[in-house]
Amino acid sequence: MSLFLGPIHHWLYKKIGNQEDLTARLAREGEKRAWIEDGSSYVKTLAPLEEAVDTENIHAWLQEQIIDGEKRYGNLVKTLLGEKPERLATLKNLAFEFGRENSPGEISSLEEIYQYFEDFFVNGMPCDRINQVTDQDERRLAWTMKEDLHSKYWPQEEGQAYYLLRKAIMDGILDDSGYHVTMKDPFHYILEKED
């Protein structure tokens, strides 16, 4: 990868920042509910990319940021859930609200929504090309995730929680938009226009 910052690096760093914002929100809520005493070890404030990046190896540095963020997010969710899986409902509600607050506003097409998801969520490095559209017409767009790049950074039991929280964020983003998304399993999704 090049030794200068380009639009793709800023694009990826913004996606990492979105996940960091969610992690911070969940940590604050965990402290408020006394599910954790101190959430600071799970939270990271991102400096501007130009100040933080290792320009000698931008690609490796960004990959490290993804791995670090995934591990902290996963460990936070594991700690918040503890031995109380019923807490997942609260975390999903928080994720839904996070999605609503990050809605793009006016949405005019399935392609626009799909691209917004691609621009919002961390899915590894851009070269990984994890998501692939598999079917599309004027009312629906289906895609498949080729590989699970997330659960490997999460404690095993919480790997599924990652996708349930992501789905809740998608639902929040689409709230009152006239579109909805179905997750058949963590690898298969369908966006549909509502009647």
- The angle at the Cα of 110, spanning 108 to 112, to the nearest 5 degrees, equals 65
Q: How far, in Å, are 117, 172, 173 from residue 137 at the CA level? A: 18, 24, 21
pLDDT at 90 over 70: yes
What is the rounded CA–CA span in Å between residue 20 and residue 65?
10
Half-sphere exposure of 170 (CA within 13 A, CB side): 23
pLDDT digits (tens, 9 = 90+) for 70-83: 999 999 999 999 88
- In the prediction, which pLDDT does 149 show? 84
40-62 residue pLDDT tens? 999 999 999 999 998 888 989 99
Which of 103, 128, 124 has its CA nearest to residue 179? 103
Could you say which DSSP state residue 45 is in? P
92 contacts 162 by C-beta, under 8 angstroms: no
Q: What is the mean pLDDT of residues 16-37?
A: 97
**Distance (Å, rounded) from C-alpha 114 to C-alpha 7?**
19
What gap in Å lies between CA 118 and CA 166, rounded to an integer?
Answer: 12
pTM (predicted TM-score):
0.94
Whether the CB-CB separation of 193 and 120 falls below 8 Å is answered with no
